[in-house]
Structure 1
Amino acid sequence: MFYQASTGWAQSAAAKPAPDVIVFTNGDQLTGTLERANGDSFVFKSDVVGEITVTADKIKELHSGGKFVALRNGEKVTRTSKTPGTITYQDSAVTLADTSSSSVIDTVPVKDLSALIDGATYTKEVTGNPGIFQDWTGGLSGGVTLVESTQTGQSFTAAVNLIRLVPSVEFLPPRTRDTIDVLETYGKLTQPVIPQTTPPTPDSVAKTNIFHADAEHDKYLTPRLYGLVGLSYDHNFAQGLNLQQIYGAGIGYTVIETPIQEFDVKVDVHYERQNFVPPTASTDLIGSSFTELYHRTLPRKILFTESGTFIPSWNDPSIYSAIFAAGLQLPTYKRFSLNLNLQDNYLSNPAFGYKDNSFQFVTGVTYTLK
């Protein structure tokens, strides 16, 4: 009796769901797993050929035991639940069936199909809410230079760039976007007096300390138009700026959006406070930030990024600032890449005795989180 029960359990455990099947118009068949569909393109994964994309005109039949949700062209995706169903494709239409009742949930002509999304992804991306520490992507960067000779010097750079899109999949319209950026550049150069005097003269020390941090939350009103709230903090020893704080809200618009490039423009109204080294007085300003951001994926997965911001003050037109940044990220090994970045900061009212422009060129290594 024990042997029979064990055999029955083993047979049940060994039972696996039947694989999904594509029957091509030429009669060939392929087994594997249907992952998703974008329009009339079905993404199918097989142990034999890996992941492939097959257009509907090459498919005679498709049968999938996985549970999917179908979205139609022009359908407004709302945060409401949908019943997922198994998929059958034939006669230029996708049919979703309820496995519990065998009833048809929906039939969508392939010409009207926007996407097929598996049930778990639909629940997570459309109806779910990520936790505060979940679903962040981006990179961590760092670089170091050490000099040990007559002079001694050290310079360190570190950067954190994080972004979170909800939903995180490209085939669903965006709902929110969060970004966090932190950049720190620190350097110290010690120069002894040559020849040394009697009594000894202390070594001269030159320091560099440039810090920037910003965070922004975007709420999409349409697939391209969004409202935003943001804050930023800057410290620049090279311009005598102890701390600049900006808190504002505004709107943004995605002008260009393709698989290889994106171009956004933004404008806000904000409160700004600048605190300088003495004797320069601090300022309290009402101003705006006019920003453009562009990124493009070049051949060999090289990423080019560029941004520019002009920040005028409305209550004191003589005070304004500008920031320009550009960079290249060159993949090297797995998640590691070499980055080349430049940034130029202009301040119309630096502290007394300091220059109004600060330029830095930074190289380092970036680790992509995911």
Structure 2
Amino acid sequence: MFYQASTGWAQSAAAKPAPDVIVFTNGDQLTGTLERANGDSFVFKSDVVGEITVTADKIKELHSGGKFVALRNGEKVTRTSKTPGTITYQDSAVTLADTSSSSVIDTVPVKDLSALIDGATYTKEVTGNPGIFQDWTGGLSGGVTLVESTQTGQSFTAAVNLIRLVPSVEFLPPRTRDTIDVLETYGKLTQPVIPQTTPPTPDSVAKTNIFHADAEHDKYLTPRLYGLVGLSYDHNFAQGLNLQQIYGAGIGYTVIQTPVQEFDVKADIHYERQNFVPPTASNDLIGSSFTELYHRTLPRKILFTESGTFIPSWNDPSIYSAIFSAGLQLPTYKRFSLNLSLQDNYLSNPAFGYKDNSFQFVTGVTYTLK
């Protein structure tokens, strides 16, 4: 009897939960797992047909044993806990029931439904706080050119572009956004004297060293308006700029936001320190940055990005700078992409003897983190 009881307990513990079920208006049924809902569109995953999106008008009934939280249209998402419940959809309404008592938690007409979010995602994205190293996405890029002949040359490029959105899911309004961008271009070209002299003349060496880094933290006041604080550092040997430092705060606004494109405009006021190679004097400036950023996903998942920034100085109107960049990221294999980009830096007050414009065209390989 002890053996039989143990066997029965083991079989009960191993029993799998019943799958979720959709009953369509034509009588067909599909089993699988309800993943989420956006408005009246339910995202359902089945082993037979994969992930599909079904609108409510095609569903007669839906039953899910998973735990979900329902958000209504116009509901302000706050960092408060909500009790998740099992889902039943019938008669154009979603009913959430408590898993322990089977009592009804809430009934939401589908016309008023903004989203269904599983309990784990709700806890992570709404009430949780990601650690400083969590939930970053973006890419790492690199390229190299080597020349070995009468002349010898090396050129290296490396870039890091990281972004973190909290929440990280598109169907919840954003709370914060963090970005980090780093770009380094280094080149060296060695040219021997031809014909060589007696005594020998040393080879001539030309170097390129352009470095840019920036970081920004955005705090959303509305789904499109946000406050920001940021900093940036620039070193450009081609303009005699040892280091330019900018520290500022401002506001930004998302003008266009769709699943395939986004367009932002930003403005700040900042402190700027410019340090040049001698004998050019350094500058302490109070200025602003006016920035526009645009990105769009093209056919075949090709990503186009573009940005432009104008940086005037208020305490010395003769000093200003501008940065323009554009790029294409072409998927090639899994997370690897071919990256084509250009960047143009203009500085109205370069060091004595240096040009005011610096243009780069870079090709390389990008690895996408997520």
Q: Give the TM-score category using the shorter length.
A: over 0.9
Q: Could you say which residue in structure 1 is the equivalent of 2:137?
A: 137
CA shift, 1:226, in A, is 0.2
Deviation (angstroms), 1:3: 3.8
RMSD: 0.8
Alpha-carbon distance in structure 1 between the residues aligned to 2:17 and 2:214? 49
**Cα separation, 2, equivalents of 1:10 and 1:72:** 42
Query: What is the distance in 1 between the residues matched to 2:30 and 2:345?
Result: 57
- Shift of residue 7 of structure 1? 1.9
Is 2:59 the partner of 1:64? no
SS of 2:4's partner is helix
Deviations 1:265-291, CA, capped at 9 Å, x for gaps: 000000000000000000000000000
Separation of aligned partners in 2, 1:296 and 1:220: 22
CA distance in 2, matches of 1:148, 1:315: 49
Relative distance call for 1:198 and 1:65 in structure 2 (3 A) is same
For 1:198-249, what per-residue CA distance to the aligned partner results, in whole angstroms no more than 9, with x for missing partners? 0000000000000000000000000000000000000000000000000000
Task: Give the SS at the match of 1:80.
Answer: coil
CA–CA distance in structure 2, aligned partners of residues 128 and 66 of structure 1: 20
Q: Secondary structure at the match of 2:354?
A: coil
1:19 lines up with 2:19 in the alignment:
yes
TM-score, length-scaled by structure 2: 0.99
1:158 Cα offset (Å): 0.2
Structure 2 gaps, min length 5:
none
Q: How much has 1:61 moved relative to structure 2?
A: 0.2
Q: Counterparts of 2:62 and 2:356 in 1: how far apart (Å)?
A: 65
Give the whole-Å Cα distance in 2 for the aligned partners of 1:346 and 1:8. 77
Residue 9 of structure 1: how far off its partner (Å): 4.3
Q: Secondary structure at the match of 1:153?
A: strand
Deviations 1:142-188 (A, max 9, x none): 00000000000000000000000000000000000000000000000
The CA deviation at 1:8 is 2.8
Q: Partners of 1:155 and 1:6 in 2: how far apart?
A: 70
TM-score, normalised on structure 1?
Answer: 0.99
State the match for 1:269 in structure 2.
269
Distance, in Å, in 2 between the alignment partners of 1:6 and 1:197 is 96
- The Cα shift of 1:6 comes to 4.6
CA distance in 1, matches of 2:14, 2:27: 30
Report Cα offsets for 1:7-60 as digits up to 9, x if no partner: 234313420110000000000000000000000000000001000000000000
Deviation digits for residues 282-331 of structure 1, max 9, x if unmatched?
A: 00000000000000011111000000000000000000000000000000
Note the C-alpha offset of 1:124. Answer: 0.3
* Partner SS state of residue 120, structure 1: helix
Distance (whole Å) between structure 2 residues aligned to residue 6 and residue 366 of structure 1: 56
**What's the offset of the Cα at 1:102?**
1.1
Find the aligned partners of 1:315 and 1:99 in 2 and give their Cα distance: 65
SS in 2 for 1:133: coil
CA-CA distance at 1:358 after TM superposition: 0.2
Distance 1:360 1:29 in 2: 58
Q: Percent same amino acid among aligned pairs?
A: 98
Tell me how far apart the structure 2 counterparts of residues 269 and 299 of structure 1 sit (CA, whole Å): 38
Alpha-carbon offset, residue 2 of structure 1? 6.2
**CA distance in 1 between partners of 2:348 and 2:35 (Å):** 55
Using the alignment, how far apart are the partners of 1:9 and 1:334 within structure 2?
45
Deviations 1:103-145 (A, max 9, x none): 1000000000000000000000000000000000000000000
Q: 1:99 deviation in Å? A: 1.2
Q: Aligned partners of 1:123 and 1:53: how far apart in 2? A: 24
Within 2, Cα distance between the matches of 1:12 and 1:231? 59
Runs of at least 4 residues of structure 1 off by over 4 A?
none
Distance 1:245 1:2 in 2: 76
